[in-house]
Amino acid sequence: MKITVIGSGYVGLVTGTCLAEMGNKVCCLDVDPNKIAILQNGGVPIYEPGLEELVRRNVEAGRLSFTTDVAESVAFGEIQFIAVGTPPDEDGSADLQYVLSAARAIGRHMDAYKVVVDKSTVPVGTADKVKAAIAEELAARGVELPYSVVSNPEFLKEGAAIDDFMRPDRVVIGADDERAITLMRRLYEPFQRNHERILFMDVRSAELTKYAANAMLATRISFMNELANLAETLGGDIEMVRKGIGSDPRIGYHFLYPGVGYGGSCFPKDVKALISTAREHGHRLRVLEAVEDANDLQKHRLVEKIVAEYGEDLSGRRFALWGLSFKPNTDDMREAPSRVIVAELIQRGAEVVAFDPVATHEAQRVMGDNPRLTFADSMMAPLDGADALVIVTEWKLFRVPDFDAIRAAMKAPVIFDGRNLYDPALVREQGFRYIAIGR
């Protein structure tokens, strides 16, 4: 099938590349000529394991191409994915300007039937706005052409996006006409394994499903973070509690890890947007409001523990910090808890020497220059003379460190672990003061 993907960011690029891998012909469009130039030269402007090789293979096979030419790309595909950004507005609602301008571009340039697929995470009701924007453009041209608008939200985890796309748990498709349903089924049929994974539903339910999924997952995290804080006071171990409840199949083990708060491009934005959509329609989502509050507080939790140890004034102290990205296997710094933690430490007068296996460059870009923040290029380097080690992101690399070497390098053997990476008894046996989350 011939497919156009409008927006070659994270979601667009993964979607386009994986669809090409299944044998489709895919044209990816972006307004940013630098991004397109990188892609045309065999590079990938984001960090996602496995993506670069997949892009190269499909470009070489002639199935995947990149362009900044709107007319050419709209003419290309019978299926048009809209995968542009939906950044939060000041009030937390999703800003639809890029989605709607993509829709208008389709209306301006289409010359045959198109299925327009909303891939971007968009508030319930957006498909109707997309439909109207296309209709307006067609009317302005004085032409009548058939088209369908479909919602097909993504459930891609950064760092595992290719596998999530190629082997989905489910494919949610909101569509209300047969022609679109037939085409979407054909498109996703190859991704079904051993049982039916395509869920057809009405458009609004599909749009809401995406928000519901992320809101539920965010709720689990905030719930566990609050219980972790309680466990500290009560003298329990949240890691035991986690196992104790996760073994109930109604609860399950996933997404019960307490930590430094959720970050990234989806949870914070989608929770805000759902609260805001509800408000617009006269509903208050009290549970989600609390989820958001708890998460904002949790991002300060590790620094609270540091302050409890050393006092409010941290000047003259040097902290080694491991992990900057909001989670492992990505260089994404959006809403990363490390940003709050580093800013607070510095603001209290401390010096921070940070190490991250891939996010250093991105962190430098978003955190700006500060003489009290430096970046190291090995995980051992920041430990030299450090007052304490602060662990923020659970990269695999950090799981089995050389505790002897760490202790020898540090000024004092203290670890603040925001991700509960180690067995407390074991670390303490090694001579460390070990402060974790909820234990």
> What token pair was written down for 143?
């032409």
Nearer to ligand UDX, 200 or 255 (CB): 255
Provide the minimum distance between the beta carbon of 419 and ligand UDX in the complex, in angstroms, as a whole number: 8
Provide the minimum distance between the beta carbon of 44 and ligand UDX in the complex, in angstroms, as a whole number: 17
Nearer to ligand UDX, 76 or 211 (CB): 211
- Active site residue: 18, 27, 28, 266, which one? 266
Provide the minimum distance between the beta carbon of 362 and ligand UDX in the complex, in angstroms, as a whole number: 15
Provide the minimum distance between the beta carbon of 145 and ligand UDX in the complex, in angstroms, as a whole number: 32
Does residue 266 have an active-site annotation? yes
Give SS3 for 172: strand
Nearer to ligand UDX, 63 or 242 (CB): 242
> What token pair was written down for 439?
């234990």
Query: According to DSSP H, which parts of 235-315 are helical?
Result: 238-246, 267-280, 286-298, 301-310
CA dist., res. 408 & res. 52, Å (int): 40
Nearer to ligand UDX, 107 or 159 (CB): 159
Residues at the interface with ligand UDX (CB under 6 A):
154-158, 214, 217, 221, 255-257, 259, 262-264, 266-267, 326-327
Give SS3 for 182: helix
CA dist., res. 151 & res. 207, Å (int): 6
CA distances from 337 to 57, 80, 395 (A): 36, 35, 15
Give SS3 for 356: coil
CA dist., res. 94 & res. 273, Å (int): 6
Residue of 132, 77, 133 lying closest to 110 (CA atoms): 77
Neighbouring-strand partners of residue 388: 319
CB 167 within 8 A of CB 101: no
List, in order, residues 6 or more apart from 101 with CB less than 8 Å away: none
Query: DSSP state, 326?
Result: S
Provide the minimum distance between the beta carbon of 72 and ligand UDX in the complex, in angstroms, as a whole number: 30
198: left (phi over 0), alpha (psi -120 to 50) or beta: beta
Nearer to ligand UDX, 156 or 409 (CB): 156
Nearer to ligand UDX, 16 or 263 (CB): 263
Provide the minimum distance between the beta carbon of 154 and ligand UDX in the complex, in angstroms, as a whole number: 5
Active-site amino acid positions:
266
